[in-house]
Amino acid sequence: MTKRTGDARFPRTEYKTSQYCVAYLDFLGGTDIILHDDQNKHLNIINMIFEDALFEAKMLVKDIFVKIFSDNILLALPTDKGERAQKIEKLITLVSNFVQQAADNDYLIRGAITEGDFFHNDIIVYGKALVEAVGMEEKYAILPKSYC
């Protein structure tokens, strides 16, 4: 285990959160899907859905941050640098398209979208907006509703 001593105990970074619109999405039943995917069928389908979502996100919005972990996807757009309403609209469009594509492949998605303080780099995602989105997904998005 590495133990920092002396001046190395103190961070040399000065990271700060800024305003983002954050979408946190989760495959409904993802844990069960993963635990019973002996032939890797679902892995490959979910990967295809994520690849398409990532491609679309990068085409539609240049400054979007995307983080994919297991059966979750995090999309975040900075809203503190102008065009706030347009960016939120684009994020909602991306989420809608992602949910539709997952449904087309017989998967249901639940999630939440928030706006607030957020930070990301190659190592960490952090902030109140993320905590709120995850909390809302867990508390309020218990079951997806069908309006068909």
What is the pLDDT at residue 148? 43
What is the pLDDT at residue 20? 96
Q: Name residue 19's beta-bridge partners.
A: 117
High-pLDDT (> 90) share of the chain, %? 66
Interval 24-44 mean pLDDT: 93
Q: If you average pLDDT over every residue of the chain, what do you get? A: 90
Query: What does pTM read for this prediction?
Result: 0.86
**What kind of architecture, by CATH, is found in domain 17-139?**
2-Layer Sandwich (3.30)
What is the pLDDT at residue 25? 95
CA dist 29 and 23 (Å) reads 19
Q: What does the domain layout of the chain look like in residue ranges?
A: 17-139
- The 10 Å CB-count burial string (b at 16+, else e) for 99-133 is bebbeeeebebbbbbbbbbbbbeeeebebebbbbb
- The 10 Å CB-count burial string (b at 16+, else e) for 6-45 is eeeeeeeeeeeeebbbbbbbbbbebeebeeeeeeeebeeb
Q: Who contacts 58 (Cβ-Cβ below 8 Å, separation ≥6)? A: 64, 66
Is residue 105 scored above 90 in pLDDT? yes
Q: Are 21 and 88 within 8 A, CB to CB? A: yes
pLDDT tens for 1-13 read: 888 888 878 888 8
pLDDT tens for 69-90 read: 999 999 999 998 878 999 999 9
What is the pLDDT at residue 139? 87
Bigger pLDDT: 136 vs 147: 136
Helix (H) or strand (E) holding 30: helix 30-35
Q: Is the alpha carbon torsion for 124, 127, 130, 134 positive or negative?
A: positive
Both tokens assigned to 112:
């939440």
